[in-house]
Amino acid sequence: MTKPKWYLLLALLLLPALAFAGGQKGEAPGGPVTLEFVVWSYNITTIQDNIAQFEKVYPNISVNLTDYPWPQYHDTMVLRLKGKTQTDVMYNGEDWLPEFAAAGWVASLEDYFPDVKKYKEKTAGYALADMTYNGKLYGLSYYADLITFQYNKKILDDNGMGAPGDWDEVLSDSLKLKEGGMKYPFCYEYDATLPNFYSAFASQVYGRGGSLFDDDMNAVLNDPNGEAFKHLQWLQDAKTKHDIMAFETHEPKVVVAMNTGNHAFTVLYNYNLSAMNKPPQALAGQFDITTMPGEDGACLGFAKFYCMTQQAAENEARRNAAWTFIEAFGGGDYKVAKRWAVEDGLGFAALPLFDDPDVQAAFATWIDVEKFKAQAKLARNDANPAWKGMWSEFFRPLMAKAFVGGATVKEVMDQGAAKWNEYKKLLGQ
Amino acid sequence: MGRKIHVYIFAVLLFLFSAGPLLLTLVGGIIPEKVLLSVPPRLFSMKPTLSYYEYIFTGKVPEAFEERGALRAMVSEEARLIPRAMLNSATVALAVMAMNMVFGSMAAYAFARIHFRGKSPTFMGIIMCRLVPASALVVPFYLLIQAFGLLDTKLALILVHTLLTLPFTVLILTMFFRRVPAEIEESAVVDGAKPVQVFWRITLPLSASSMVATGLFAFMLSYSEFMYSLVLGGSQRSRTLPVVMTSLIYNPDMIWGMLMSGVFLTLIPSLILAIVVWKFVVENIILGAMKY
Amino acid sequence: MARRDMSRYPIEWLLPVLILVFIFTVYPFGYAIWNSLFQILLILPVKPFVGFQNYIDVVSSIYFREALFNTLLFAVITAPIIVVIALGVARLLLTKFVGRSVVRAVVLLPWAMPGAVSGIIWVWIFHGQWGILNAILLRLGIIRSYILWLDQPILAKFSVMVAHIWTQIPFVSVLLMAALSTINKEIYEAAEVDGARPVRRLFSITLPQIKVMMLIGLIYELIMGLTSYDLTYSMTGGGPGGATTLLSYYIWAESFKMLQFGRGAALGVIMAVITLVLILLIMRIVPGELTVKEE
C-alpha cells in the first residue's frame, strides 16, 4: 500500500480517542438549574405531572426526566453512574444504597442539609433504616411497602377455613384445598434473577420470628435450628414433598394466576394486592392480607426513595436545587406520597399518612386497613451492608435450586453463609 | 397433483406454527380480562372488546376498570407509550436497513469482485467483530456514545445497530455477489463499463433477492433489539418498542389483555414491511429468473 | 490460471464500513480484554492486576458448568434444526400455491418480535396452569392432565428451544429463499431430462449450490443460540432451579449485578473463544468457501 493509505488507517484507529478528547460541558455559573432526575418506568405520566406542578412553584428549576424499566434499573444505573452521565436526583432502593454509597456515587442529605433530620421522627422505622447508611440519612421516601401474605379470602371462607396463623396451618390448609381439587394452593413468585425472590424469603422468616443475620452482621442463616433454615426446608417440602406449590416468574403473572381461582395463598409486595383486587380482574374483591404466618407475625418492610448523587452534591447550585426537589417530593406535607397512595395503592413511609382519611378510604377499597396498619407496625427492615446486592445475586440461584430439590437446604445455607462471611471479611469495616 | 396435497399440508402447518402464537395475541387483545385466562377456557362467553386498543391510542380508560367505582383506575400508563415507541423503532430500523443495504453492498462488491492486497485481513476483521458477545461490550459502547454526545438519541441506536448487522450483511452479500455469473459482468466490462456501473446495473439487480434478505435482516434485528436500546436511551424521544414492551410486561398494573393488545400492535410495522417487500421480491425474482 | 492484476485498495467501496467497524471494535475489544486482566470490584477503589485470575474464577464459579452446558446444548441443538426446517420453508415458499402470499408475509412476523415479548407469548402457550397448549391437548384428549412445560427441567429446556426456533426460522428461510433463487434453472432441467428423482436432485444439485448459505445460516444460528438471553429468561427466569440458565446472562450479571467488571469481561472473552472454536469446527466438518482469497 502506498504511504497515504497508511495514514488514513492510522487516523481511523485514532478516531475514538478524539471522541474522548471532547470532555465534559462546562457548568453555567448561577442562573436556572436543570436537574437530571432518573426513575424507573412506573407511571411516568403521573411523575411528569408532579414535575410540572413543582416547576410552577420553582420556576428557576427545570427537571429533565429519564426512565429505565424496573427490572433493568439497577444495572442501567450502575452503567450510568460509572460512566458519569450527569445525574442529580435518582430513585434509590434499600438494597442498592450501601452499594452506591460505598462506590461514592450518592451523597448523604444529612451532611449537606441537616434540616432533613426533622423528617426522621415522621418516618416509619424500617423505612428510615433503609434510607440510612453509616448513620447518615440519604434520602426521603418515594414509597415504602411491605412484603405480605396475601390470600383468597372467599375461597377459604367457602371451605370453612380461617386465615392461617402459622406455617403448619398454611400446609394443612393447602393439603385440605388440594383434596378438594385445587392442585397448587400456594402460588409462589419464583425467579432467581429478581432481588425480591430473596426479600420474600426474608419476610417469611421474619414472620417466624427468625433472622438471617445477627446484630454483628454475621450470617446465621445456616443454623439448622434457626427459623431461616427451617423455612427453606418448609418451602422445599411444600414443592417437592407435598406438591402444593406452583411457580410464576414475576408478580404480574402471580396476580393473573391468583385471579384464575386456582390458588389460595401467595407472598408478594403489598401493592400487588391492589392489582389483584381491582376490576377488571376476574376475582376482584376476593383477596386480602393476613398477618405473616409465624410466631412473630413480623414481615419485611422496605423503602424506595429520592436520593441525591455525589455529582450533584459537588455543585452548589445543583445540590440546592436537588434538595428543594427531594423535599418537595419526599417531604413537605407528603402531598406526592399521598397521591401515589391514593391513586395507585403504593405504600408509604410517612407516619401521618397512616391516619389520613383520604388514604384510608382509598386503601379500604382493596385492603383491610386495620390489618395493614397492624402489619406495618410489625415490619422490620433487612440487613443491608455494602455487599448485600452482590451476595443476594449469588444466593438466589442457590435458593432456587433448593426449592426444586436440586440441592439440600444444608448445602445451600452453608454456601450462602460462607459467601456472606467472605464478603464481610473483604468489605466489612 | 398428488404432490400438491403435501404442499398444502406443510403450508397449513407452517401457517399455524408461525402465525398461531400471534393470532393468540390478537384474540388476547380483544377478549375481556374476566374470561381470558379462565381454566378451563371459556374465551368466548363474553363479548369481545376493542377498549384496550382505544386506551392505548386515546387514553380513554376502558369501562371494565371502572366497574366498582374505584377511586382512580389503576391502568398501566405504560401502554400509552406504545405508539411513539413504535414510531421510533420503525424509524431507526428503516435507517439501519438503508445503511446496511447501501454500505454493506458496496463493501461486498469490493470483496466479491475487486482484487486487492489486504482483502482477506480486512474481510476477516469485519466479520470477526461479531465474535465477542454484545453484552460484554456494553460499557465501552456506552462510553463512546456518551463521548460523542449521542446518549438518548435515535442516531446512537442507528449507529450501534448498523454495527451489529453489517458484518453479517457484508458476509452474506459477498457470497451472493460471487454467484452472479462472471461472464455477464465481464462482457459489460469489455463494453467499457466502470466497476460502479457494473455494480449498479448488473450485480445489484441480479442479486435483488439477497439484497432483500439482508435488508430485512437488518430491519428486523434493529426493530427487535433490546439491550442497547435500553442503555443508550433514556427518555421517550429515543425509547424503542422492545424497551416499552419490557416495561409493560413487568408492570404490576398490567392487565393480560392490555399486554396482548400491545404485543399485537408491535407486529403492524413489520407486517406492512413484509407485504411491501414480498411484492417487490416477487416482481424481481421473476425478472431475475428470466435474466438467466 | 492467470494471475490478475492487483487493484489498489478500494477505499471508496469500503470506507463507511471500515469507519464504523474501527470505531466500535478496536476500542471496545481492547477495553474488554484489558479489563479482563484486572480485578475490578466497583465499590473498591483499587484495581489490582490479576492476570488470568478472573478467567479462573469464572470457570470455577458455581454457575459456570451448568450454564455452559445449557448454552452449548441450546445452540448446538437449535441451529441445525432451524436450518433444516428453514430449507423446507424456503422451498415451500418458492412453490406456487393458493394463499402463498399470505403465508409468506406471516412467516416473517416472528422475526420482528423482541425476545422478551416472544417469551411472554410462549409463556401463555406453555404455561403449566393456564397455558393454551395444555388446554388444547386436554380438549383433544391427548393428555389426561396439564403438563408442566416450564416447571420441569427437561421440558423447560425443550420449551425455550421451541420458542427460540420459532423466532429464528424467518431469517434463515429468507436467506435460503434468496439462495435457492440463484440456482440456474437449466441445471434442474438437465437433471430432469436425465431422469433424476426429486431426492437425488436435492442432494446432488440443490444442496451443493446453496451449501455456502446453509453454512452461513448455521453459523449465524449458532451465534444466536450462544448469545441468546431475552427469550429464555423472560420465559423461565433461568429456572427451574438453574435448568435454563445461560452464559449470556452471567456476562451481564457479573458486571452489573455482582459489580465484578473484570470477571464480566473475562467471561465475554471466553464466550468469544468458544464461538470461534465452534465456528472453526463447523467449517471443518461442513465444506464450504467462506473466505475471500487475495488473487
Cα(A150)–Cα(A136) distance, integer angstroms: 34
**In terms of Cα–Cα distance, which of B34, B24, A376 is closest to C121?**
B24
Q: Give the CATH number, domain containing residue A151.
A: 3.40.190.10
Which of A349, A372, A395 corresponds to the end of one domain? Answer: A372
Residues A284 and A325 in one domain: no
Q: Is residue B107 over pLDDT 50?
A: yes
Residue A26: what pLDDT? 40
- Interchain contact, C121 vs B25, CB within 8 Å: yes
**Residue A348 forms part of a structural domain:** yes
Residue A10: what pLDDT? 56
Closest residue of chain A to C146, computed from CA coordinates? A183
Number of cross-chain residue pairs from B and C with Cβ atoms under 8 Å apart: 286
Q: Which of residues 107-146 of B touch C (CB under 8 A)?
A: 107, 109-112, 114-120, 122-126, 129-141, 144
Cα(C209)–Cα(A408) distance, integer angstroms: 55
* Secondary element (H or E) of residue A245: strand A245-248
Residue C180: what pLDDT? 87
Cell numbers representing residue B276 in the block? 411491501
Q: Is residue B2 over pLDDT 70?
A: no
Q: The domain containing residue A244 runs over which residues? A: 146-301+380-427
- Interchain contact, B33 vs A250, CB within 8 Å: no
Residue B58: what pLDDT? 78
- Chain A residue numbers with beta carbons less than 8 Å from the beta carbon of B41 are none
- Mean pLDDT value across residues B258-268: 86
Mutation target for B interface from C92, C113, C250: give the one with most B CBs within 10 A.
C113
User: DSSP readout, B239-275?
Assistant: --HHHHHHHHHT-TT--HHHHHHHHHHHHHHHHHHHH
Cα(A229)–Cα(A210) distance, integer angstroms: 9
- Interchain contact, C26 vs A75, CB within 8 Å: no
Per-residue pLDDT band at B271 (split at 50, 70, 90) = confident
Cα(C279)–Cα(B121) distance, integer angstroms: 18
* Residues in Cβ contact with B107 at an 8 Å cutoff, skipping those fewer than 6 apart: B126, B166, B170, B174, C13, C14, C16, C17
∠ CA B183-B189-B193, nearest 5°, is: 135
Residues A330 and A189 in one domain: no
Residues A216 and A265 in one domain: yes
Residues A283 and A319 in one domain: no
Residues A49 and A68 in one domain: yes
Mean pLDDT of chain B: 83
How many CA atoms does the CB half-sphere of C279 hold within 13 Å?
A: 22
**Domains of chain B, residue spans:** 2-78, 81-291
Cell numbers representing residue B264 in the block? 399485537
- Interchain contact, C227 vs B134, CB within 8 Å: yes
Asked if A74 is an interface residue toward chain C (Cβ–Cβ < 8 A), one would say: yes
**Domains of chain C, residue spans:** 11-285
Residue A429: what pLDDT? 63
Q: How many domains does chain A have?
A: 2
- Chain A residue numbers with beta carbons less than 8 Å from the beta carbon of B144 are 16, 19
Cell numbers representing residue B173 in the block? 452479500
Residues A44 and A126 in one domain: yes
- Chain C residue numbers with beta carbons less than 8 Å from the beta carbon of A425 are none
* CA-based R_g, chain B, Å: 24
Q: Is residue B134 within 8 Å of residue C28, measured between CB atoms?
A: no
**Residue A10 forms part of a structural domain:** no
Interaxial angle between packed helices C153-180 and B2-30, expressed in degrees from 0 to 180 and rounded to the nearest 10:
120
Mutation target for B interface from A14, A72, A74, A253: give the one with most B CBs within 10 A.
A72
Q: Dihedrals φ, ψ of C288, to 5°?
A: 175, 150
Classify domain B81-291 at the CATH class level.
Answer: mainly alpha
- Chain B residue numbers with beta carbons less than 8 Å from the beta carbon of C88 are 10
- Chain B residue numbers with beta carbons less than 8 Å from the beta carbon of A284 are 67-68
Segments in A136-242 forming alpha helices (H): 153-158, 167-179, 195-207, 227-236
Amino acid, single-letter form, for residue A182 = M
Q: Which of residues 95-134 of A touch C (CB under 8 A)?
A: 99, 102-103
d(CA A425, nearest CA chain B) in Å = 29
Residue C284: what pLDDT? 83
Cα(A340)–Cα(A233) distance, integer angstroms: 38
- Mind listing the pLDDT tens digit for each residue in C153-202? 999 999 999 999 999 999 999 899 888 888 877 777 777 777 767 777 77
Residue C10: what pLDDT? 83
ipTM above 0.95, yes or no: no
Q: Is A176 exposed, middle or buried (0-12, 13-18, 19+ CB in 10 A)?
A: middle
Pairing type for strands A139-152 and A300-309 reads antiparallel
Number of cross-chain residue pairs from A and B with Cβ atoms under 8 Å apart: 124
Asked if A183 is an interface residue toward chain C (Cβ–Cβ < 8 A), one would say: yes
- Interchain contact, C245 vs A184, CB within 8 Å: no
- Interchain contact, C6 vs B223, CB within 8 Å: no
* Secondary element (H or E) of residue B290: helix B256-291
**Residue A2 forms part of a structural domain:** no
- Mind listing the pLDDT tens digit for each residue in A159-168? 999 999 999 9
User: DSSP readout, C236-264?
Assistant: HTT-STTTT--HHHHHHHHHHTS-BHHHH
Q: If you count them, how many residues does chain C have?
A: 295
Q: What share of chain A is helix, strand, coil (3-state, %, to 5)?
A: 50, 15, 30
Per-residue pLDDT band at B71 (split at 50, 70, 90) = very low
The DSSP letter of residue C178 is H
Residues A234 and A294 in one domain: yes
Closest residue of chain A to B246, computed from CA coordinates? A69
**In terms of Cα–Cα distance, which of C178, C207, C176, C202 is closest to C191?**
C202
Residue A2: what pLDDT? 43
Cell numbers representing residue C197 in the block? 428423482
- Chain B residue numbers with beta carbons less than 8 Å from the beta carbon of A16 are 144
**Residue A7 forms part of a structural domain:** no
**Residue A310 forms part of a structural domain:** yes
Residue A24: what pLDDT? 42
Ranges in chain C, pLDDT < 70: 1-5, 196, 287-295
- Candidates 1.10.3720.10, 2.30.40.10, 3.40.5.10, 2.60.40.420; CATH matching C11-285: 1.10.3720.10
Q: Cα torsion for B268, B269, B272, B275, to the nearest 10°?
A: -100
- Mind listing the pLDDT tens digit for each residue in B23-67? 888 888 888 877 777 766 676 777 778 888 877 887 777 776 665
CB contact burial A293-308 (16+ within 10 A = b; e otherwise): bbebbbbbbbbbbbbb
Q: Is residue B253 within 8 Å of residue A275, measured between CB atoms?
A: yes
- Interchain contact, B245 vs C117, CB within 8 Å: yes
Ranges in chain A, pLDDT < 70: 1-31, 429
Closest residue of chain A to B151, computed from CA coordinates? A85
- Interchain contact, B18 vs C295, CB within 8 Å: no
**In terms of Cα–Cα distance, which of C76, C66, C90, C129 is closest to C207?**
C90
Residues A71 and A58 in one domain: yes
